[in-house]
């Protein structure tokens, strides 16, 4: 939790929200729905974006997954 030590409560909240979005990108890619689409050859990308309450803008967190090669083998379903 060293990342949080020098942050105020608002900055900590923002960072936790961003970390959550990044984790959810991974979780979505682990679903059979997404993996079945990839097995069928569908072009499907999962992106991590977050809405900024302070500025009303969508922020790209620079995390995207486009296919199996970006997942750990333990999370790839066999069809």
Q: Is position 1 within any domain?
A: no
Q: Residue 33 belongs to a domain with what CATH number?
A: 3.40.1050.10
Q: How far apart are CA 28 and CA 21, in angstroms?
A: 10
Percent with pLDDT over 70 in the chain: 90
Range of the domain at 56: 9-74
pLDDT at 16 over 90: yes
Per-residue pLDDT of 27-64, as tens digits, reads: 999 999 999 999 999 999 999 999 999 999 999 999 99
Give SS3 for 58.
strand
Report residue 32 as tokens: 């059979």
50, part of any domain:
yes
What's the structural domain count of the chain? 1
pTM: 0.82
Residue 53 lies in a domain: yes
Please report whether residue 28 resides in a domain: yes
Is residue 79, in this structure, part of any structural domain at all? no
Provide the pLDDT for residue 48. 97
Residue 63 covered by a domain: yes
Higher-confidence position of 63 and 3: 63
Asked whether residue 4 is domain-assigned, the answer is no
């Amino acid at each position: 939790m060293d990342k949080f030590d020098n942050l105020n409560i608002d900055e900590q909240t923002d960072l936790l929200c961003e970390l959550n979005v990044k984790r959810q990108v991974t979780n979505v890619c682990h679903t059979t729905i997404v993996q079945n689409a990839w097995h069928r050859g569908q072009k499907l990308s999962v992106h991590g974006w977050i809405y900024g309450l302070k500025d009303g803008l969508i922020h790209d967190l620079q995390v995207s997954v486009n296919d199996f090669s970006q997942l750990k083998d333990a999370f790839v379903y066999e069809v």
